[in-house]
Amino acid sequence: MTVRVELTSPSRHPLAGQTMTGADMVIQVLADEGVEIVFGYSGGAILPTWDALGRYNVEQESKRRKPIELVVPANEQGAGFMAAGYARASGKVGVSIVTSGPGATNSVTPVRDCMADSVPIVLICGQVPRAAIGTDAFQEAPVFNVMSACAKRAFLVLDPEELEATVRTAFEIARSDRPGPVVLDIPKDVQNWKGTFRGEGVLDLRGYRERMQALYGERMSEPKGAAFFDILRKSERPLIYAGGGVIKSDAARDLRRFATTLKIPVVTTLQAIGSFDTTHPLALHMLGMHGTAYANYAVEDCDFLIAVGARFDDRVAGNATKFAPNAKNIAHMDIDACEVGKVKLVTWSHIADARSGLQDLLNSARGFQKDFSPWLDHVAALKKNHPLDYDRNCDFIQPHYVLECLNKITQGEAIICTGVGQHQMWAAQYLDYKHPRSFLTSGSMGTMGFGLPAAIGAQFARPDRLVINIDGDGSLRMNIGEMETVTNYNLPIKTILFNNQGDGMVRQWQKMFFAERFCGTEKFLHRKDFVNAARADGFEFAVRVSEKNRVERVLQEFVHHNGPAFLEVMIDPDACVFPMVAPGLSYKEMVTGPHIAPRKQETVKPAKPTDLF
């Protein structure tokens, strides 16, 4: 790899020409990139960089400048998810720094999670000295080999002359194009090496930069914009299907302008929740496996599906051949050309980030007029006739009720983080989200244990916002060590634990598809006292609720508590998530459950276990 020096500003870097260690260069580039906080855990192979960070911060404080804040988690997986939560909540690149061997391998899951959900982070790993690589040295692991399969890009820095440029390039790659994680594996002797700091320069990735220049420099042509509106003019029932790319490209405002100007209703994926205000009349909320019934019915009925920053994944499309069966035309706008036509054939497409693409379409919309009132009336009727609902008469606490009460308090203004499971879907369904970057959850990877460390990262990113982690007893156990991190840094994060004494989502599948053989998902023998565990970790507010009539009052105390708060709610162990579209089935085969009115009764044949994926 060669270094291509390119000026990033008219003036030279004030430290250009100074002699630094490799570790000092790493920290200086982080500072130059605007990094304000890093999440990480120390260890032998990363100690030079750790020491450089400490020295840098002392120097900054002596000059009364802001240092780079360091947050130390319980383990490296927590650090990775904190960096991801920070990135998701802020839109900036999150940074995690860990040691070699187990420090790096503990970070594989958050790296893969970020790759799956297009989240920009930079992971810096220590590595054994170059001479020891391949000798099974202490705490050596083949980080480059492992991470290359999981990350957007991985670098093993063997030439110290390239270190500075490689770190700078990592940030460029992480945030550009379709965002994602970049991993830097830096041997200890490269960190200790001394050389001249240039203050500029990136790696020569000519093909990548030429593609980026074309991607960001090209605007939609007039004929292409006109072709889109020719289709829309012939349509009677258009529907916008918004994906996570809308949030990644900061296009929520453009999506709202586009939808409200043209009067087109909007459904969103799990990752796009918050991209369109859920309280808006045009909002149909989430579609897909556990989407609202009315959103899925609208997908069934639309004749023109407009996908923006979405990828037709299996949890949305289900049986792809039967997805949007009445859509005579499908438009697809995405930053990644590989996604267009991958799952569904389309009649119109445009390769661009959602923000510029929507802006171009709005420019092309001048003079366009069409009345979609009959379709909007139809959609309004779907929302009225098929709302979310649950068993309101059950003696056990229903999680849906808890979230309805919470929603009255937060009114769509909180940042909600979740673990993975039933609680994740309930939070997506029953809470309102008025702003982008306000619903943080592991989507494609479905990583249990995501919620709490992500909430920590989000709270550091947005100290002005109320951050609530909604978790399950199985998911919280995965990274419960981060409870202490919350109190160590006195973060006012609120954690609601829905305890159904089992792995609820898998249990629901076993109930529906495996003849109620609850193998490995019943946890009634577990003895974890979550409330006392929270108190031991320093939570002053740690309360358990098992009576329905206490829920509203305790929720008020919980949300308004000044500082970290933990609330365990003992919920109905048989509560299920509905609607549900089983894997591989179509929306016509959606199961609405006993309390959500279906459009018409369908005889749904349960999928065989071998059909589930």
Q: What is the pLDDT of residues 435-469, one digit of tens each?
A: 999 999 999 999 999 999 999 999 999 999 999 99
- pLDDT exceeds 80 at position 489: yes
Find the helix or strand (DSSP H, E) in which 350 lies. Answer: strand 348-351
Strand ranges (E), 456-599 = 467-472, 494-499, 541-545, 565-570
More confident residue, 514 or 251: 251
What are the residue numbers of the active site? 76, 138-139, 188, 505
Whole-number Å distance between alpha carbons of 274 and 93? 20
Strands 565-570 and 494-499: parallel
Mean pLDDT of the chain: 94
Per-residue pLDDT tens digits for 565-574: 999 999 999 9
Residue with tokens 């918050």: 274
CATH number of 399-570: 3.40.50.970
The pLDDT confidence band at residue 1, using thresholds 50, 70 and 90, is low
CB 577 within 8 A of CB 290: yes
Per-residue pLDDT tens digits for 277-302: 999 999 999 999 999 999 999 999 99
| Long-range CB contacts (within 8 A, 24+) of 53-57 | 53/27, 53/97, 55/24, 56/24, 56/27, 56/28, 56/31
Query: Percentage of residues in the chain with pLDDT exceeding 90?
Result: 88
- pLDDT exceeds 80 at position 5: no
The pLDDT confidence band at residue 610, using thresholds 50, 70 and 90, is very low
List where CATH 3.40.50.970 sits in the chain. 3-215, 399-570
Whole-number Å distance between alpha carbons of 245 and 334? 7
Please state whether 134 falls in left (phi above 0), alpha (psi between -120 and 50) or beta: left
CB 205 within 8 A of CB 169: yes
Residue 607: per-residue pLDDT: 47
Residue 520: per-residue pLDDT: 84
- Tell me what the mean pLDDT of segment 380-387 comes to: 97
The CA-atom distances, in angstroms, between 147 and each of 110, 150, 609 are 11, 5, 32
- Tell me what the mean pLDDT of segment 395-403 comes to: 97
- pLDDT exceeds 80 at position 7: no
CB 478 within 8 A of CB 448: yes
- Tell me what the mean pLDDT of segment 589-595 comes to: 95
List the structure tokens of 414: 């909180």
Q: What count of residues does the chain have?
A: 613
**DSSP helix/strand/coil, 289:** coil
Query: Percentage of residues in the chain with pLDDT exceeding 70?
Result: 96
Residue 559: per-residue pLDDT: 98
Whole-number Å distance between alpha carbons of 554 and 572? 18
Q: Helix 22-32 and helix 47-62: axis angle, to 10°?
A: 50
Instruction: For 421-477, give the secondary structure using H, E and C.
Output: CHHHHHHHHHCCCCCCCCEECCCCCCCCCCHHHHHHHHHHHCCCCCEEEEEEHHHHH
CB 71 within 8 A of CB 38: yes
More confident residue, 366 or 154: 154
Please state whether 299 falls in left (phi above 0), alpha (psi between -120 and 50) or beta: alpha
The pLDDT confidence band at residue 604, using thresholds 50, 70 and 90, is very low
The answer, yes or no, to whether the previous bond of 579 is cis (omega within 30 of 0) is: yes
What is the homologous superfamily of the domain 219-385 according to CATH?
TPP-binding domain (3.40.50.1220)
The CA-atom distances, in angstroms, between 488 and each of 326, 471, 491, 563 are 55, 20, 8, 12
Whole-number Å distance between alpha carbons of 435 and 451? 19
Pick the CATH number of 3-215 from 3.40.50.80, 3.40.630.30, 3.40.50.970, 2.30.30.110: 3.40.50.970
Residue 4: per-residue pLDDT: 56
Per-residue pLDDT tens digits for 336-372: 999 999 999 999 999 999 999 999 999 999 889 999 9
- pLDDT exceeds 60 at position 612: no
List where CATH 3.40.50.1220 sits in the chain. 219-385
CA 29, distance to chain mean position in Å, is: 26
